[in-house]
Structure 1
């Protein structure tokens, strides 16, 4: 009988350890697919899994036949999200941030909810617009987000975008990728990944084509 109790106690301890290991070690993301994170219903785009928000209009951004990012439209604002491959040993956001500021003198650094970010104005076809560049380094990836329009200056709209980013899951995969190469995405109903050779990140190149997610 004593052995039975010991075995049961050991099983309970092992179960408790497993449950503890499955709990997120941070309060919020963005999450890596291989780390414990809340198991909620998300839009599966392959390289990104996005939280559902019925108020957001979420669209895929493509260059040719390659889906390279996501555009979220909300309250006269847009949130562009892209996951980029990064080195295994170091993060990429410091380097990308310096590259952006060297080309856009109207942006300056400020502290944001995810650490250093860039804020200022960028020139668009419709004229200058307020913009925020947000970067989050993960294991072998960088999640880059660009907020333009009202969401760059309105705290309420910005908070909705920040909450969205905090629940994004990045699926890096094990395949070798070039530095700053866009982690490929796919439509939710398409099990096949898009073609390889995703375009390297350039925030000032002519924008990608935008298509709605159905």
Structure 2
């Protein structure tokens, strides 16, 4: 487990004196190229993920790429993935319909509802003999799409749900300028501190070829 402590190097650069960010919106998710509030976030490359006391972050891996992150706090989970999207149109309507079909085909259930970010899916995901409730949220940004899945205690606890929704509102998406096909995952990376810890652990254990993803990298906020 990699532990993350507050220090000046971990914070995003503060705006110059007298030049506080001015935004047209009250909350995000934010695009990296638009003015957004300065706060403490974990830099995962394609995502800058806000964390708070007791938050634990795990990374989702597809092959040798980090493609998503999971925030765990108070018996609740928030899974986030960012994808490329067309310049002039969003994809949440299309993705939402695809998710509904896939969930139903797998024996689950889903219902479209209006949520704090617009249309979302209230779902029951079939897992063995049990059904796992979850909320699928989607936000279309400029050339990107952010999908978030809330599960655990936050499904029935409004206060726990609010805490995770605030995380979504403060995420910064770094799309980059490289050409990407619609729905292609925006690749993430380990924070510098976590990567250094992996390398140090590999050296201490005499395993220079250690693959950090095999151990499920985690970042925990401690005060």
Contact 1:135 1:144 in 2 (8 A): yes
Is the contact between residue 194 and residue 219 of structure 2 (CA under 8 Å) also seen in structure 1? Answer: no
- 8 Å CA contact 1:32–1:169 kept in 2: the answer is yes
Give the Å deviation of 1:65: 1.2
Residue of structure 1 in register with 2:185 after alignment: 182
Assess if the C-alpha contact under 8 Å between 2:28 and 2:170 holds in 1.
yes
Are residues 1:159 and 2:148 paired? no
Task: Name the SS for the 2:67 alignment partner.
Answer: strand
2:11 maps to none
Closer, same or farther: CA 82–174 of 1 in aligned 2, 3 Å: same
Find the partner of 2:114 among 103, 111, 116.
111
Matches within 5 A, 1:117-156: 117-125=120-128, 127-156=130-159
Q: Does 1:212 align with 2:181?
A: no
For structure 2, the residue ranges without an aligned partner over 5 or more in a row are 1-17, 196-213
Counterpart of 2:210 in structure 1 is none
Mapped partners of 1:149, 1:190: distance in 2: 29
TM-score by length of structure 2 reads 0.75
Aligned length: 181
Q: Does residue 73 in structure 1 map to residue 72 in structure 2?
A: yes
8 Å CA contact 1:130–1:150 kept in 2: the answer is no
SS at match of 1:104: helix
| Contact 1:71/1:210 (<8 A) preserved | no
Q: 1:139 to 1:103 in 2, by over 3 A?
A: same
Mapped to 2, the partners of 1:125 and 1:57 lie a distance apart of 27
Render the CA deviation track for 1:38-79: whole Å, top value 9, x for unaligned. 022211110000112122111111112100000111222221
Instruction: Name the structure 2 match of 1:3.
Output: none
| Segments ≥4 residues shifted beyond 4 Å | none
Structure 1 regions of 5+ residues with no counterpart? 1-17, 193-207
Query: For the Cα contact (< 8 Å) 2:82–2:147, is it kept in 1?
Result: yes
The aligned counterpart of 2:39 is 40
Deviation at 1:175, TM superposition (A): 0.2
Q: Which structure: larger Rg?
A: 1
